Copies of this chain bind each other. A is one copy, B any other.
Amino acid sequence: MPWIQKSFALSPRPRGFHLVTDEVARQLPELRTIERGLLHLFIQHTSASLSIGENADPSVRADFESHFDVLAPENARHYTHDAEGPDDMPAHLKSALLGCSVTIPITAGRLNLGTWQGIYLGEHRDRGGSRRVVATVMGE
C-alpha cells in the first residue's frame, strides 16, 4: 500500500476552538481505501493547535477558549516576547500545551474516533488566517 501525503489549507477561523473533523475528512477521500492504519495531521504553525475534544456541545469549545486564556493569559508580566502583539506569546504557549499534531486510527475506511470525539483546530491568534496542514495516511 503506498503512503499518501498531502498538504492543504484549513478555512480561516476566528480566535477560538473549532471542530474541523468534516473539513479534514473531505480533504482525504483516500481514507476509504485503508482497512487498518493511521492518519497523522500536522499543522505548520506555532500559534495554532490540533487536538481531540468533545464534538457535541459548543459550550465545551467556548470554555476551552476561556480556560486557555487563564492558563496562558495576555500581557503576563514575565513575557519578554511582545513585539508581535499581546495575543502572540499566549498563542505559542497554547500551541505547545495542546500540540501541533494528532494521530488517529483508521479502521475499515473511516477515522476510528470515539462517539464524542472530534478534531479541534485551536486558532490562538486574533487574526490567524488560513492554516496549513500536512496529512500523512499510512496503513493497508
- On A, residues with C-beta under 8 Å from B are 2-5, 7, 36-38, 40, 42-46, 51-54, 57, 59-60, 62-64, 66-67, 70-72, 76, 78-81, 89, 92-93, 95-105, 107, 112-117, 120, 132, 134, 136, 138-140
- In the complex, chain B residues whose CB is within 8 Å of the CB of A99: 51, 99
Query: A36-B5, A81-B59, A92-B53 given as contacts; is B67 within 8 A of A114 (CB)?
Result: no
Please determine whether A104 and B5 come into contact, CB atoms closer than 8 angstroms: no
Q: Indicate how many identical chains form the complex.
A: 3
- In the complex, chain B residues whose CB is within 8 Å of the CB of A3: 36-37, 139-140
Please determine whether A105 and B45 come into contact, CB atoms closer than 8 angstroms: no
- In the complex, chain B residues whose CB is within 8 Å of the CB of A113: 44
Please determine whether B37 and A100 come into contact, CB atoms closer than 8 angstroms: no
- In the complex, chain B residues whose CB is within 8 Å of the CB of A70: 76, 78
